[in-house]
Chain A
Amino acid sequence: MKAKAVLEKLNVKDVNVGACAGPDDWYKDPEAEESVSYNPATGESIARVLQATEKTYEQVLEAAEKAFKSWQMMPAPKRGLVIRDLREALQEKKEPLGDLVSLEMGKIRAEGHGEVQEMIDICDFALGLSRQLYGLTMHSERPAHRMYEQWHPLGAVGVVTSFNFPVAVWSWNAAIAAACGDTTVWKPSSDAPLTAVAVQHIANQVMSSHGLKGIFNLLIGRGSVIGERMINDSRLPLISFTGSTKMGQHVSEAVARRFGRTILELGGNNAIIVAEDADLEMAVRTILFGAVGTAGQRCTSTRRIIMHKSIASELTEKINNAYKQVKIGNPIEEGILMGPLVTKAAVEDMMAALEKAQEQGGEIILGGKRLPGLGEQFVEPAVVKMPKQTEIVYIETFAPILYLMEYEDLEEAIHLHNEVPQGLSSSIFTTNLLKAEKFLSHEGSDCGIANVNIGTSGAEIGGAFGGEKETGGGRESGSDAWKAYMRRQTNTINWSKDLPLAQGIKFGD
């Protein structure tokens, strides 16, 4: 696969403009700073982007606001047809777009293509949703009155995404928001701007074929400049932010100060409990995918294994054997299971975390070394046996580090599981129905996602995605997550000739 050919298929140039509101609305500013996107596997420059400026930010926001006025009035099923065409356009570009995801952020091709499939899937969902934005009807306590609720579009929605799912998370938001009658303004990660440029070209093509602009908008720039501007901008009534807990706190405070809304998808510290009766072969395959996939850089990556004492040795050996089979290398090559980390800084973060784990009594039983022969950003995935859940285990290190801990009874396992501040995804491997149900019960997992005999990562778009505690409480994607993108209005209509008051109050009769 040649990078140049991939870029050409996606219309990505050597130098790209980072502010856009439609096919003829790429906003250039001579003052714009240039940023470079590097291939994390080779360290080579892929292409450059002229970042959004104060001036181009305003142009994009004005376009998004203006487009919202007419978009909200288009019947939702008609909006669905635009999303249907977006789905078709994504399907057509699935291969090059998936390849660009791999090139730019380092996940393997199968995962890159899977990510674009997720975009296609959410468009399918949003198309159906466009005919199902249901509101409830209530029986009024007053005679000859009708009471119901309806859902109205919100406005322009700010979407801030992370490098690890550089295109799928945009689509979770943009497709649902579009079905709901909202426009979106997207600030992608500074580590994955080219995939965003490519997606904008695809969205432009779709908008153009419907005579639209300003529905899907792009602003590439630094978090401290463009991100800050967005979270403080009251023209964006909703900010959907994917990132860390620390940043989520900041975003939440800023948006709440102006009474805006947030959807927060923040850190995870996901664990699998492996019970004594678990199918260990199945558990090991799942653990490998969860901990090593995307080089441990998913929000839902498996970071902790809480295993029953009686099977700890056997499971540890099986995990070690599985890890030894992992082929590490350039993610675009066939047969590779793990690519590089996204930046050099991420490698340093991983190494420092491993040193800390050792200082806290952890034993690195496998991996954890740099692989300079492959490139500066390649590492071995690490398996670390911890004597207990120490401070470093409470922290989400965005790297392939798997902590192993033992338990004696299920209560202890659930306690360990829930003890961390994050609450995104969780899993138990067991063949015992009682244990599975306990894990899913009120006193079980405290996460937004809780699975039995499947891992912590690899969610489908049909369910609501998100977590509790420091994960932020937001929900995106399927189920009724769409409600966050709309405003609820309760309506009461009096079709009688009297004026009865609620609660039977008499006033001036």
Chain B
Amino acid sequence: MQPLVTLDTQIEDLVLKYPKSVHFLTKNGIRCIRCGEPLWCSLGELLEDEKVKNPQELVDGLNQFLKEQDDL
């Protein structure tokens, strides 16, 4: 099955399609909306900018979190 979110997913798409991902990411120290507006980059670029050691691991965690939500 294709993951819902990948490193190439644009933040603008992420917050629109899967708003709950903002909760997961903020709790993990990654802020993808600021001043109420999404950042203009991909999730991978944001994680690189935030110096996340294992970006894929975080994305896997996010996909798992999203799967567990019953009201996506």
Contact = CB atoms under 8 A, between A and B. Distances in A.
B27 interface: yes
A250 interface: yes
A297 interface: yes
A355 B27 contact: yes
B interface SS class: mixed
B57 interface: no
Nearest to A38: B16
**Contact-residue size bin, chain A (C-beta under 8 Å from the other chain):** 35 or more
Given A224-B10, A224-B12, A398 B19 contact: no
B22 A247 contact: no
Nearest to B41: A224
A348 B26 contact: yes
Given A224-B12, A343-B19, A398 B35 contact: yes
Interface residues of B, number: 22
Contact of B39 (A163, A246, A344, A395): A246
Contacts of A297: 36
Contacts of A267: 34-35
Interface string B19-56: 11111001100010111111111000000000000000
A222 B12 contact: yes
Contact of B12 (A223, A246, A351): A223
Interface string A331-371: 00000000001111111110111011000000000000000
A331 B40 CA distance: 29
A500 B27 CA distance: 69
A348 B23 contact: yes
Point out which of A190, A245, A297, A346 has the most chain B C-beta atoms below 10 A from its C-beta: A346
Contacts of B20: 344, 348
Given A222-B12, A224-B40, A398 B26 contact: no
A232 B41 CA distance: 15
A121 B59 CA distance: 48
B15 interface: yes
Given A224-B40, A244-B39, A348-B20, 5 more contacts: A247-B40, A266-B35, A267-B34, A267-B35, A351-B23
Interface of A: 162-164, 189-191, 222-224, 227-228, 243-247, 250, 266-267, 297, 299, 341-349, 351-353, 355-356, 395-396, 398
